[in-house]
Amino acid sequence: MEEQKAMREWWEEYADMIEEPDLSNIEIEDGKPVDNIFAEKQHRLLVSSLYTNWKPKQKFVATTNVGVFYAESKPPIVPDALISFGVDFPTWEQAISHKKYRAYFVWVFGKPPDVVVEVVTNRKGDELTDKLKIYAEVRVPYYIVYDWMRLYGEPKVRVFKLNGLEYVLKEDLKLDEFGLQVGLWEGSFEGFGSGEWLRWYDEDGNLLLSNEEWQAQINAELEAQRQKAEEEKQRAEQEKQRAEQLAAKLRALGINPDE
């Protein structure tokens, strides 16, 4: 990560001295449709769960299907999901004022993304060949490939870590310095039938919940609290009734219960 740190420091020092490239002929929104229903939900699940209940050590930006422009003379590459640490989203005013704030221009953010994810939907995507080389050229530290239909065989999940100028396939699924790891989870999301999903876990192995799961957990906790309060109310009522019955028996015996 020393290479990434040096690049970021270089950008911070010399960014104002670099001439802005001409973006007038660069197309950001091409209007092309994205993938199938599962892939679309998988992309959003990866991004939304990061914002729901994860508390990372540093700020981050996570997006899905946003173009990464890394060289003026080359077309962008569009990862299914990306995470970039230590950066901020452009403001609304910036996004309106200039197209350079409406995509991930490496020279605007000052660094490449730290993590990119590709969900394989067909072999035309070249996730293990051309894209692998491009992300290495962009200097993305971690590249994750989820081959949910096993179009490239086993394993279903591959995590590559940049080593110099090339990627090395990791033996585990951890993004060590970012406190994240990935894994397969069985269940349903937004009503889509039960199956395997690529999910984020924190460094302790805790699943990062989707907003749907987070809300369900909150509702379950609230319901548990309501039931506990109701049980306590019933116990108090029962205690009151027993006290009244005892007082009535004492009075029947000529004893004043208040004394």
Cis peptide before 155 (omega within 30 of 0): yes
Backbone angles phi, psi at 158, to 5 degrees: -125, 130
Nearest to 54 by CA among 245, 201, 227, 223: 201
Distances (CA, A) of 13 to 86, 99, 105, 107, 239: 16, 23, 18, 12, 73
Nearest to 27 by CA among 82, 79, 67: 67
Nearest to 52 by CA among 221, 225, 206: 206
**Rounded distance, CA 117 to CA 160, Å?**
10
Task: Enter the tokens of residue 209.
Answer: 């919940």
Secondary-structure class of domain 2-209 per CATH: alpha beta
Q: What is the pLDDT along the chain (259 residues), one digit of tens a residue?
A: 565 565 566 555 545 544 565 555 555 455 565 568 888 899 999 999 999 888 898 999 999 999 999 988 888 999 999 999 999 999 899 888 888 889 999 999 999 999 999 999 888 889 999 999 999 999 999 999 999 999 999 999 999 999 999 999 999 999 999 999 999 999 988 888 788 999 999 999 999 999 888 777 777 777 677 778 777 888 878 888 887 788 788 788 778 878 7
Exposure of 141 by Cβ count < 10 A (0-12 exposed, 13-18 middle, 19+ buried)?
buried
Q: Residue 2: what pLDDT?
A: 62
* Cut 0.75: pTM above it: yes
Is 26 within 8 Å of 20 (Cβ atoms)?
Answer: no
